Every structure is written in C-alpha cells, then in structure tokens.
Amino acid sequence: MEETLKIIVLVKHVPDAQFDRHLTGEASTVDRSESILSELDEYALEAALQLSEARGGEAAGNKVIALSMGPAGAVNAVKKSLQIGATEGVHLSDEALAGSDAAATSLALAAAIRHLGADAPADLVLTGMASTDGETSLVPAQLAERLGLPQITFAASLELDAGKLTARRDGDTHADTIEAELPAVVSVTDQINDPRYPNFKGIMAAKKKTITTLSLADIGVDAAQVGKSGSWTAVETAEARPPRTAGTIITDEGDAGIQLVEFLAAQKLL
Amino acid sequence: MAKVLVFIDNPGQGLKKSSLELLTIARSLGEPAVAFNGELHDDAAAALAAYGVQALYRPSAADLDDYLVGPKASYLAAAVQTSGATVVLTENSAEGKEIAARLSIKLGAGVITDVVAVDPDGTAHKSVLAGSYITTAKATTPVAVLTVKSNSITPEPAVTGTAPEAVTIEVPETATAASARVTARTEKPASGRPDLTEARIVVAGGRGVDGNFGPLEELADALGAAIGASRAATDAGWIGHDAQVGQTGKTVSPQLYISAGISGAIQQKSGMQTAKVIVAVNKDAESPIFEIADFGVVGDLFQVLPQATAEIKKRRG
C-alpha cells in the first residue's frame, strides 16, 4: 500500500481575512469576492507534498490531488495548490451546493473522494485544522465518519511508516501520540510545518497540470442532498456587530501603570 | 418535556465550571440527562444531583480514552437513542466539536458550534467571521447537537436536587474498528492559574515581551488572570502553544483582556475582539491593537506592567 501514495488534499477558497468580511443574501452566506486559498490549508498541502517527496514524489507515481468545493472562483484555490506542487486539481462545482452547512459539505466531499478513488482509493485525505471563514472544524471528523475511516485531527506532527501514521496532538491538559493505519482522514495544525511558496518553476509547471471539474451528477449526489435543502442547520438572523472603536490612548510619561489601574477601577474590574 | 443530553468527558474529582454551565443550559431547555465517560467521583455525582440531572448514563467500555473521538461518538449516539434526547450539548473544545461532528452524522442531526446562548425553542446564538457578526441558527433535524463555549452563562444549581442512578449504555463492539488509537499521553504541568478559555481576565503577551513573561505573570497573579499569547510568542518558544489566542489558537471572551507587546494583526484580533474590555500596552503607537483598545498605553510594557501590579497590590493593602 505504501509504495506509492494517493493523497487528496482539501483546499478551500475563502475571503481574505486582511479585508473586512461580510455575510450576504437571504441565507446569510459568506461574500466570496476577495478570496484566497485558505492559509490553514497550505499546511495540509505542505504535509502532503513532504509525504510524497519522501517516497520519490510524482516521478515515483505518488499523487497529491487538490480538491476544492465551491463556486467558479474556487478554481483559484486549486490553481494555487498546483503552483505550490499538487500533481492534479479537482474542482467540485455546482450551483446546488451554495449554502451547504458542514453536514452537506461533508456529504458532497465524501462522494467526491469516493469518485476520485473509483480506480484506486485514496490512502490519505488531508485537511487544514479549520476553514478561516466558517471556523467550525466539523468537516474533517464528519468526513471520517461518512467514509468509515479513522481520523487523526489537529496533528502537530505527522509521520508515515509501513502504512501506519503517527501524529502528535496537543491538548490543554495533555499531549497525545496518535496512531492509525492507512487509509485515514488527517487534519493538521499550523504547528506542523512551514509551507513553501510557489516558485517560478512551479507556476510554469502548473499551467500544464490538469484541473478536472466535477458536478453533482458526476459524483452521484442529488441536488436536494446539499445546499440549503440538504443542510441540517439554518442561519436565521445575522447582524453585524458594531465595530469596536478606540478608547482613551495615552503615552506613558512615568505614571501610565497607575492610570491603567485607575481605568480598571473605574470599570469595576479590580 | 424535551430531554437534553449533556456529554461530560472525564468529570474528574468535581465538575468543571463549563460542565456546570452546560447543565444549567440543559435545565433551561428541558429535562437534563448526562452521559459521562470515565470515573464518576462522589463530588462530581453530588454536583450532577444538585444540578437536577434526571437520568445518568455510563459506557459499558472503560477504554474510550484510548481512542481518538470515534468510540465516544458511538457511545453518545447509543445514549441519545436510550434517553430519547432531542438536544445534545457538549463543550466547545476541539474534541467536543469532533465528537459532535461524528455524532451528527450517526444521528442525521444538525450541529452548531461555538454557541454562546440557547433560546428555549432551541435557537442558538453565535458569533461568526472572527466576531464581526452575531448570528442565530437552528438545527432543522429532529435532534440538535450544540457545542457551547465556556463563560456563556452563570452556573446555577436546581431548586430541587435529584438522585440519578447511572444506567450502563452498551458501546457497540464495532465502535473502535475504524478509530485512531492514543498510544501515549503526556500530562502537562498545571499552572495554578485559571483556564484560558474560562478566565474572567486574560493577560496576553506578544513579540514585545521578548522572551520574558515575568511581568505579565506577576500582573496576572495580582488580578487572578490567565496568561495568553500571540502566535509570535508561542512560535518563538517563549510559552506553550496552548496559551495561543487567535485564529489558530483559542478564542476568548473575558471581561478584561490586557494585551502587552502585541501588535494586533487580524489573526490575533479574531481570538479576542469579543472581550468586554480591552487594554493594550505597546511601544508602537501605530499598532492596530490601539484601534480596538478601550484603554491604550503607548509605552514600555516592562515599565508599565510592574507599576500597575504594584499599584493593584497597594490598593488592596
């Protein structure tokens, strides 16, 4: 099993957190203009590339497939992944997917992963620790449940030897060593590696790589199973929180510590 | 009356504040039941009774902690069936959310994370997009799974206590089949300070701390606060990663957040901007943290913090 690896990396096209982000429309979905490849997914891609390269990379038959679900623009997350080093790209795109919650998203992704594994099942599904927009961290565990696979989530390190994965997971009160056999679903934290940037060679090579577009029909999913109708939760109201405004700013002239305490006392925080 | 099942993983010697909060919310929604894992000590059992728990469930297996998430979700699914619960509450930790995630697929139940309040009709309130929106959401399925953030409600015991007897729930033998195993566990030393996500006050340091958290720790101890950090400080190895506040660390909403030597990039802000009051100390007057601070000091944290600590001690005599 481990001679060559077939790794599917889930990548999400998310609004750039450097700008103001908004909810829009009746279903209060995220406005996806000004979007980028989620920075947390770069760690998953890097982890996949390292596992592949340790086994001879693409030349030895290892595959790193970047899979993104999302509207037309999401193909940019796939393209960026190809520039960074993924061997092929897949864009799952269908109007019916809009407004999917985590449950519907995991249903569609699980179907896409099975579809991509029709000839040879994937050894590993790698994801980031969360999306930087929804931030629920539900999808990796839901995918594992739907695919009937073990999950190693929030991996701060990851090794693969003879078909066995070993990872470190840091909790608040303890750190665990986790083991699972392939195939598995793994989500990685931002502690695991330093993601590489696409270089000129990578950008040129990406132009020759294949991006497959899949619709719901391709993966055997009904429109009613996803989107708003297939979701198990619904957003009812969304209200922008009034932006915080700056309060009193002072420059220390020797007594700022005392002024700080006076402020806390006035706020009844002591 | 709706049955509400609260999952308490390893209740410990006494119940954590976050567990008491879940029990209080459960009682506001219906008849509270508890499924626990691990040992149930007398003090924890007494707390369950004081909080009006009507039904109590324990797993048939003692080794659920040896696996990551999967078997706990199987146990909880069986407990939901037995109890007839229509709402499941878990804590909002990484593991709490993952158990909720797997449970939701097993039950076909909608799951809402990061909940801060629940209305009697099951409507959940939460912040999204790094605290820039407040939303309400509802599960559209027969069973709802909610993961609730700490510090969401003041825990209150029930008017009349109960005496629940634990019922054993058979964990399916297949539960461990496709699960990752925990093969080693290292306990982290306890700091003696409040838990970061539960603390009323957080004192956090960033790059400007330059490796010396001493003045922050002294201020934190004078205030009974937890210590937090920006990613710059945890990446530098000055403090453990579990102290990290921000997008890839913890999200905190304390009464008071004192930020020292942190510039306040969006990734940091997303973890703390729902704090009630923000105080910032930074040498650089241009730091974005000052845009959201209620009280800001442009100055040297190594001067300002010790002076503040001394002043607090002086006032308290």
ipTM: 0.90
Which among A189, A237, A260 has CB closest to B295?
Answer: A260
* Residue A223 contacts residue A101 (beta carbons within 8 Å): no
Q: First CA to last CA across chain B, in angstroms? A: 53
Residues on chain B touching A244 (C-beta within 8 angstroms) = 273, 278, 291-292
Alpha-carbon distances, residue A84 vs A4, A134, A158, A195 (angstroms)? 20, 24, 20, 9
Which H or E element spans position B94?
helix B94-107
Say yes or no: B229 contacts chain A, CB-CB below 8 A.
no
Closest CA to A114 of A90, A84, A130: A90
pLDDT tens across B116-130, in order?
Answer: 999 999 999 998 887
- DSSP codes, A32-48: -SSEEE-HHHHHHHHHH
Percent of chain A with pLDDT over 90: 81
Strand pairing partners for B244?
A: B229
Is the CA virtual torsion B204, B207, B209, B213 positive or negative? positive
Instruction: Name the B residues in 98-117 with CB < 8 Å from any A CB.
Output: 98, 100-102, 104-106, 108-114
Q: What are phi and psi of B223, to 5 degrees?
A: -100, -5
Angstroms from B70 CA to nearest CA on chain A = 8
Residue A16 clears pLDDT 90, i.e. is over it:
no
Q: What is the pLDDT of residue A136?
A: 83
Angstroms from B215 CA to nearest CA on chain A = 12
Cross-chain residue pair B140–A30, CB shorter than 8 Å = no
Residue A85 clears pLDDT 90, i.e. is over it:
yes
Dist CA B23 CA B275 (whole Å)? 24
Indicate the range of A44-48, B15-19, B142-146 predicted with least confidence.
Answer: B15-19
Residue B213 clears pLDDT 60, i.e. is over it:
yes
Cross-chain residue pair B102–A40, CB shorter than 8 Å = no
Cross-chain residue pair A263–B279, CB shorter than 8 Å = yes
Say yes or no: B247 contacts chain A, CB-CB below 8 A.
yes
Residue A57 clears pLDDT 70, i.e. is over it:
yes
Confidence of residue A1 (pLDDT cuts 50, 70, 90): very low
Q: Chain B interface, mutation test: which of A164, A264, A267, A268, most B Cβ atoms within 10 Å?
A: A264
Confidence of residue A2 (pLDDT cuts 50, 70, 90): low
What is the mean pLDDT of the segment spanning A126-153? 91
Confidence of residue B273 (pLDDT cuts 50, 70, 90): confident
Which among A170, A176, A258 has CB closest to B241?
Answer: A170
Confidence of residue A22 (pLDDT cuts 50, 70, 90): confident
- Taking phi over 0 as left and psi of -120 to 50 as alpha, with beta for the rest, A41 belongs to alpha
Dist CA A193 CA A191 (whole Å)? 6
Looking at chain B, which residue has its C-alpha nearest residue A19? B266
**CB contacts < 8 A (A, B):** 272
Which among A20, A165, A237 has CB closest to B136?
Answer: A237
Residue B281 clears pLDDT 50, i.e. is over it:
yes
Which among A132, A236, A249 has CB closest to B137?
Answer: A236
Say yes or no: B216 contacts chain A, CB-CB below 8 A.
no
Angstroms from A9 CA to nearest CA on chain B = 19
pLDDT tens across B21-76, in order?
Answer: 999 999 999 999 999 999 999 999 999 999 999 999 999 999 999 999 999 999 99
pLDDT tens across B216-268, in order?
Answer: 999 999 999 999 999 999 999 999 988 999 988 898 989 999 999 999 998 88
Say yes or no: B10 contacts chain A, CB-CB below 8 A.
no
Cross-chain residue pair B247–A17, CB shorter than 8 Å = yes
Which among B180, B303, B315 has CB closest to A151?
Answer: B180
Angstroms from B304 CA to nearest CA on chain A = 4
- HSE (CB half, 13 Å, CA atoms) of A63? 19
- Taking phi over 0 as left and psi of -120 to 50 as alpha, with beta for the rest, A161 belongs to beta
* Residue B93 contacts residue A141 (beta carbons within 8 Å): no
**CA geometry: angle at A44 spanning B205 and A228, to 5°?**
95
Instruction: Name the B residues in 257-316 with CB < 8 Å from any A CB.
Output: 266-267, 270, 273-274, 277-279, 281, 285, 290-300, 303-312, 315-316
Q: What is the pLDDT of residue A131?
A: 82
The contacts of residue A270 (CB under 8 Å, 6+ apart) are A261, A264, B223, B312, B315, B316
Residues on chain A touching B266 (C-beta within 8 angstroms) = 17-18
Instruction: Name the B residues in 111-170 with CB < 8 Å from any A CB.
Output: 111-114, 123, 127-141
Average pLDDT, chain A: 93
Omega before A183 within 30 of 0, i.e. cis: yes
Q: What are phi and psi of A127, to 5 degrees?
A: -140, 170
Angstroms from B313 CA to nearest CA on chain A = 10
- HSE (CB half, 13 Å, CA atoms) of B108? 5
Looking at chain B, which residue has its C-alpha nearest residue A228? B140
